[in-house]
Amino acid sequence: MSNPIVGGPELPQRRRLVTEIPGPVSRERFARRQQFVAGGVGTTLPVFIEAAGGGVLRDVDGNSLIDLASGIAVTSVGNAAPPVAARVSDQVRAFTHTCFMVTPYDSYVDVCEKLAQLTPGDHAKKSVLLNSGAEAVENAVKIARAYTGRDAVVVFDHAYHGRTNLTMAMTAKNMPYKQGFGPFASAIYRAPMSYPFREPGAISGSAAADRAIDLIDKQVGAANVACIVIEPILGEGGFVVPADGFLPRLADWARDNGVVFVADEIQTGFCRTGAWFACDHEGVVPDLITTAKGIAGGLPLAAVTGRAEIMDAVHSGGLGGTYGGNPVTCAAALGAIEVMQSQDLNAAARRIGDLMVSRLEKLAESHPTIGDIRGRGAMVAIELVGPDGRTPDAARTAAVSAYCHAHGVVTLTCGTYGNVLRFLPPLVIGEQLLAEGMDVLAEAFAATA
Ligand SMILES: *Cc1c(COP(=O)(O)O)cnc(C)c1O
């Protein structure tokens, strides 16, 4: 057996470019990918990775890139984090699968216990483990419907909840997520979000919530609503932080009307925003919470966690799946949570956020195209606009991102209008590496002006 390539924090934490990006080997591999991989699977940056660790991705040409994406908010504890790798390899050697519904094992229960402790609220909680974020959202809706005996689901403008049929219906943006894939699941209703930067006349959080509640009352009827599903900070929709008071007012209304309040914390959860969950910033206690992405250091695990009496409304056998809570993914989650706790990644996320926001504020002084800087903790974005300070500038956003990619910094875009650059560094990234990433971003703005 040949020696495996080793990533993790041992990988030198620096940016180093030895070829153009993508390099010749990546280009060759990409041609093969084009031959065998479905065209519907997109690629942000066609660079093939052979090792990753901390805040660095090393490609097959020997280039080292700065990671400001974390594989879309997944590798918060760093890529190939040692406690994750060790627990996973121990587990793989012990057993790889039994199906928790056939013969159970402890690590599934351990993860559910951690979720009960770490998620908002000190009531009795239970969880079900699943494979993907979309599957978690689907299950939250199933549980809310079983508990309430109602069928309507309320979601919000700019929402992203996944790519399965039900979650496509819940997702707002047509292209690329929904185009050509209908018809979609029924009984989904969309309410207006609080989007402070694009709000006519800075409407307060509670007023924005009342606007949504009025629509729900008049167009759906509170008594028909099983659940409200909301991202406490929009993810794919543009890292929009709703105005203060929006989430608490909605949560109060849900409680008063017997509606299950579901926080989709798949992107915001597990230290990303500088708290365990984004709901914690406003003291909001959701009835159900969906988690995935950051939970397991890169392995596919997701969960629905919630009030015991709501979770238990489903008959035995009504929830589950072959792989949900697979022991290898549970081992990874326990390793990732260990890193979050032992390295206080909430504090790290806040430090990272402060550093990024102060750099971005300076950048905005000389580049008025940066119309808004927003986010919480290490979930930060800038919205790019034209000279009128409003019109979305998706072309400039793409150009800045392309410059960053060509210069060895992995950035992502998002937003309904494609004009938001978002930054999601691993929470273990070194300050110098992060500062260098911000330097390249500043160059990108200068070069594309
Ligand atoms: C990514 C995401 C999902 C879907 O998760 P998958 O694991 O890709 O199915 C759902 N909700 C939010 C908020 C997300 O960011």
Residue 17 covered by a domain: yes
C-beta of 231 in contact with ligand 1 (< 6 A): yes
Q: Are 299 and 114 in contact (CB under 8 A)?
A: no
CATH of the domain at 132: 3.40.640.10
Give the list of residues 6+ apart from residue 226 with CB closer than 8 angstroms, or none. 141, 144, 145, 147, 148, 150, 151, 152, 153, 259, 260
| Cβ 264 under 6 angstroms from ligand 1 | yes
Residue 6 in this model has a pLDDT that exceeds 90: no
Q: Of 196, 231, 225, 199, whose CA–CA distance to 213 is shortest?
A: 225
138 lines ligand 1 (CB under 6 A): no
Residue nearest to atom 6 of ligand 1 (CA): 133
147: containing domain: 83-342
Region at 238 (left for phi over 0; alpha for psi -120 to 50; beta for the rest): left
**Ligand 1 pocket check for 132: Cβ under 6 Å:** yes
Residue 2 counted as domain residue: no
Which amino acid does the sequence have at 410?
Answer: V
Task: Please give the structure tokens belonging to residue 42.
Answer: 């997109």
- Residue 248's alpha-carbon distances to 204, 208, 279, in angstroms, are 12, 12, 9
* Last residue in a domain, options 310, 342, 374: 342
Same domain flag for 387 and 307: no
Q: Can you count the helices (H) and strands (E) in the chain?
A: 13, 15
- Look at residues 339, 422, 434 and name the one whose alpha carbon lies nearest to residue 381: 422
263 and 354 share one domain: no
65-103: string of b/e by CB count within 10 Å (b at 16+)?
Answer: bbbbbbbbbbbbbbbbbebbbebbeebeeeeeeeebeee
For the chain, the domain total comes to 2
Ligand 1 binding pocket includes 265 (Cβ within 6 Å): no
Between the alpha carbon of residue 223 and those of residues 142, 157, 207, the distances in Å are: 17, 22, 22
pLDDT digits (tens, 9 = 90+) for 379-410: 999 999 999 999 999 999 999 999 999 999 99
Q: Which segments within 46-137 are labelled E, that is strand?
A: 49-53, 56-59, 64-67, 125-130
47 and 120 share one domain:
no
The yes-or-no verdict on residue 66 having pLDDT over 60 is yes
| Residue 413 lies inside a defined structural domain of this protein | yes
Mean pLDDT of the chain: 97
- Which tokens is 137 given? 């959202």
**What pLDDT, on a 0 to 100 scale, did the predictor assign at position 69?**
98
52: closest CA among 27, 73, 70? 70
Task: Report the alpha-carbon distance of residue 178 to residue 260 in Å, rounded.
Answer: 26
In the chain, what percentage of residues exceed pLDDT 90? 97
Residue-by-residue DSSP string for 9-65: GGS--S-B-SS-SS-HHHHHHHHHHHHHS-TTS--SS---EEEEEBTEEEETTS-EE
Asked if pLDDT for residue 1 goes beyond 60, the answer is: no
CATH code of the domain covering residue 369: 3.90.1150.10
> Residue 2: its pLDDT value, please?
64
Q: Which of 342, 357, 392 is the last residue of a domain?
A: 342
Out of 342, 359, 386, a domain closes at 342
How high is the pLDDT of residue 201?
Answer: 76
CA gap 360, 239 in Å, rounded: 15
Residue 81: the pLDDT is: 97
Residue 60 counted as domain residue: yes
Q: Are residues 37 and 155 located together in one domain of the fold?
A: no
Which residue owns the Cα nearest ligand 1 atom 11?
161
Mark whether 130 and 162 lie in a shared domain.
yes
- The predicted-structure confidence for 72-89, as pLDDT tens digits, reads as follows 999 999 999 999 999 999
192 with 336, same domain?
Answer: yes
pLDDT of 4: 77
Does residue 135 share a domain with residue 70?
no
Element (DSSP H or E) covering residue 414: strand 412-414
**Residue 276 sits in the same domain as residue 150:** yes
In a domain? residue 281: yes
Ligand 1 atom at minimal distance to the Cα of residue 163 = 9
The alpha carbon of 360 is separated from its chain's Cα centroid by a whole number of angstroms, namely: 21
pTM value? 0.98
Residue 110 lies in a domain: yes
Kindly state whether residue 438 falls inside one of the protein's structural domains: yes
Greatest pairwise CA separation for the chain in angstroms: 66
Residues 319 and 349 in one domain: no
Query: Is residue 417 domain-shared with residue 357, that is, in the same domain?
Result: yes
Same domain, 91 and 113: yes
Taking the CA of residue 231 as reference, the ligand 1 atom at the shortest distance is: 13
- % the chain with pLDDT above 70: 99
pLDDT in tens, 306-333: 999 999 999 999 999 999 999 999 999 9
101 and 193: one domain?
yes
Is 3 inside any structural domain? no
Q: Which atom of ligand 1 is nearest to the CA of 300?
A: 7
Mean pLDDT of 154-167: 98
C-alpha–C-alpha distance, residues 52 and 9, integer Å = 8
DSSP 210-245: HHHHHHIIIII-GGGEEEEEE-SS-STTT-PPPPTT
Tokens, residue 301? 């695990």
Cβ atoms of 115 and 291 within 8 Å: the answer is yes
Summarised one tens digit per residue, pLDDT across range 259-285 is 999 999 999 999 999 999 999 999 999
Beta strand pairing call for 370-376 and 125-130: unpaired
Strand-pair category, 125-130 with 225-230: unpaired
